Each structure stands twice: as C-alpha cells, then as structure tokens.
Homo-oligomer: A and B are copies of this chain.
C-alpha cells in the first residue's frame, strides 16, 4: 500500500508542507518510525521530542508555526485534529480484515430452543443455552458460554471464553472481551449459627447499548432488580462491578477498578486504575477518581478526587505537600522547645534581677 505523501494529503484532507513525492508504506509510533513511516504529533512539545526520523508527520497548524520546517525535516501534513487524521491513515495502511462469514458452526453447541438472528457467526466451541434470543449480526467467538434465557442485541461481539450467566440482557453493539464474566451471583451471605448461608440472587445484569467490557472483568447480578452498566460506558480489563450497582452513561474505568455493592454513578465518570469504591457510594456526573483512590460516601458532580480516604484534588495536593514538610516541622518544633527554655531562663534571670533590685 505504498502511497506518496501528496496522495496521503489528498486522502486525509490535509495541507502539504514539504516534499510530496516521498513514499510511505505504513504508520508507526514516534519511537520506532523509519523513513517509510507516517507518524503524528499532538503538540509542539511532542514534535520537539521526536527522536525517530519518519518519512512524514501529521501535525496541526499551531505546531507547524511553532516548529519552523527546515530542509532536514520530514514533509508535513497539516490538519485540524492530528490524532483523528492519523487513525484515518492507519486504517488506510492497515484496512481491518473483512468480517468473517462462518454462520453457525456445526462445532458450536446451540440449544434447539435458542433464537439466533441473521448474519451471526457462532464459532466452534461456543455454547448457546436454552431460550437465548440473539439479534442480527453478532459474533460469538470460540469458547463463549451464553447461559439460558440471555437476551443479546444486534451487532454484539463476544470474545473467546467470556461467560454470561442465565438471564443477562445485552444491548446493541456491545463488545465483551475474552474471559469476562457477566451475571455471576452477588457476594451476599447471612451468618446463621456460625455458618454463611447464601442469599439468593434472583436479579440480573443489564448492559446497555455500546457498552464495552474488558478482558477478565466481572459484573455481578443484582439480588432483586438489575446491576446496570449505562449506555456507552467502557470498562477496561480486570474491573469488578458488584451486585446492584447502577452505572450511568459514558463512564470510562481503567483496569483493576473495584466497585462494591449498590454504588451509583452519574454520566461521564472517569476512574483511573485500581480505584476502589465502597458500597452505596455515589459518584457524580463528570467527576474523576484518581489512580488508587479509595472512595466512600458521595463525590459531587464534576469533582476530581484523590487519595485514601479520597478528597477533592486541591485539598489532597495541599495535604500531601504539607505532609512532606512534617520532618522539617519536627526539627522546627525541637528548636522552638529549646528557644523557649532559653527565653524562660532569660526571663527568670530578669525576674531574679528585678526581685534583687526590688529587694535592694
């Protein structure tokens, strides 16, 4: 797919700066690019850090002006949104493989009572249980287990060895990655005469449209109603969402985040990695939880919280900076105690003196 920079420029709707006859045959990262590669930089700072010698660079007009082009520099494709344009270029050089059309494999197990929509691929070794209903255009990869009575929307992709327990409801265009588990029992017991008795979990999980669930992520079913992952919400790998949580729309959580039971969130909530949220907490719309934060209670809309226990970013930064001063504060304190003694001695001397003169 060798393409000249000139041709790329036209394809991508950019403005050429430099030699358009250079030929490019792939995209690359700024670290590893060689002279046949196209890269992008998102800012002038990033452009200046560029160590490799790519064949061409996508950048925005601002960077172009901030970093005047010399003869030694690669030709440039100037655009408004370098990342978006780069993704376009990536799909030009690496067109996605056409979707396979294998239909329902004879090596898959599909219960006779299941209803499979049109244009679905059910790969060898996949398992579709009784009374499952699946919309059109789904890809069910090898080793996937969809248990009895699940409802699957249209154009859903479920990657290998993922598991849906019975009765889970999955919206349209949902992507579930390998070994994710949706709908296992919530973790609830009653201690009866010294033994744990399991609390039955007769609720379910609802994944709304356009949800993406990462590899190894687990979403437990509710006790009565539904654990809900709101429309467009994306969970990275190894995330845990416990029973009865109700996540809003367009949330995005990095890996190894854990939510205890009955947590609710607004829309556009972001969590960095390894955040933990205690049961019944509420995370407001547009708020952000910093890496490893430990949350309890309520995070107001639009706030950024850090720390364990977490608090507003500004407070936490101040607290952290101050805590670093504690060793210094300690030696200051020691000095004050000494000075105080000296002052006391001086005063005692003065007082003694006065008394002397008074006595005199």
Interface residues of A (CB under 8 A from B): 27-29, 31-32, 83-84, 87, 90-91, 94, 96-97, 107, 109, 123-125, 127, 141-143, 145, 147-148, 159-161, 163, 165-166, 177-179, 181, 184-185, 187, 189-190, 194-196, 198-200, 202, 210, 212, 214-216, 218, 220, 222-225, 232, 234, 236-238, 240, 242, 244, 250, 252, 254-256, 258, 260, 272-274, 276, 278, 291-292, 294, 308-309, 318-320, 322-327, 329-330, 332-333, 336-337, 339-340, 343-344, 346-347, 350-351, 353-354
Q: A-B pairs with the 4 shortest C-beta distances?
A: A145-B160, A181-B215, A163-B178, A109-B124
Contacts A258-B256, A354-B350 hold; do A337 and B344 have CB atoms under 8 A apart? Answer: no
Residue of B nearest to A160 (CB): B145
- Residues of B near A27 (CB, < 8 A) are 224
Contact (Cβ within 8 A) A145 B161: yes
Contacts A214-B187, A242-B255 hold; do A196 and B234 have CB atoms under 8 A apart? Answer: yes
Contact (Cβ within 8 A) A325 B330: yes
Contact of A87 among B32, B200, B291, B350 (CB under 8 A): B200
- Residues of B near A166 (CB, < 8 A) are 97
A165 and B138 CA atoms in complex are apart in Å by 18
- Residues of B near A326 (CB, < 8 A) are 319, 322-323, 325-326, 329
A210 and B194 CA atoms in complex are apart in Å by 13
6 A-B pairs with C-beta separation under 8 A: A194-B250, A198-B212, A220-B237, A236-B242, A276-B291, A339-B340
Name the residue among A166, A215, A308 with the largest chain B CB count within 10 angstroms. Answer: A215
Contact (Cβ within 8 A) B237 A187: yes
Beyond A195-B210, A196-B232, A291-B294, list 6 extra A-B contacts (CB 8 Å).
A94-B202, A107-B109, A123-B127, A125-B125, A258-B274, A354-B354
A165 and B97 CA atoms in complex are apart in Å by 14
Contact (Cβ within 8 A) B232 A195: yes
Residue of B nearest to A194 (CB): B250
Residue of B nearest to A308 (CB): B292
A184 and B276 CA atoms in complex are apart in Å by 24
Contact (Cβ within 8 A) A196 B336: no
